[in-house]
């Protein structure tokens, strides 16, 4: 069984995505547009309505923000650009 996306990991992932969006000053609609995903997909992920997001969705988000999947899932800290 894939333990990559436990409820705790998903909560952490939502937090990380929101932090990255705040860092880049974009909202969910803008993120969806930039990575060419339906806005409801991003909204459901960020509100916790999706309990099993597709790996392809998370990969697109990670690639957009130039972070690894481990960073997106909160396993590895994201270094600030200023550090």
Q: What is the pLDDT of residues 21-77, one digit of tens each?
A: 999 999 999 999 999 999 999 999 999 998 889 999 999 999 999 999 999 998 888
Q: Quick one: pLDDT at residue 83?
A: 47
Of 19, 21, 41, 23, the closest CA to residue 32 belongs to: 41
Q: How many CB atoms lie within 10 A of CB 10?
A: 20
Whole-number pLDDT of residue 1: 40
What is the value of pTM for the model shown?
0.87
CA 63 → CA 7, 17, 83, distances in Å? 22, 12, 21
Task: Kindly report the number of other CB atoms within 10 A of residue 82's CB atom.
Answer: 4
Q: How far is Cα of residue 17 from the mean position of the Cα atoms in its chain?
A: 4
């Amino acid at each position: 069984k894939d333990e990559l996306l436990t409820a705790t990991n998903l909560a952490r992932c939502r937090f990380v995505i929101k932090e990255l969006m705040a860092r880049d000053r974009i909202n969910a609609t803008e993120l969806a547009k930039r990575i060419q995903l339906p806005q409801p997909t991003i909204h459901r992920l960020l509100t916790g309505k999706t309990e099993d997001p597709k790996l392809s969705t998370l990969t697109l988000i990670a690639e957009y923000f130039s972070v690894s999947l481990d960073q997106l899932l909160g396993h590895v800290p994201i270094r600030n650009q200023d550090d």
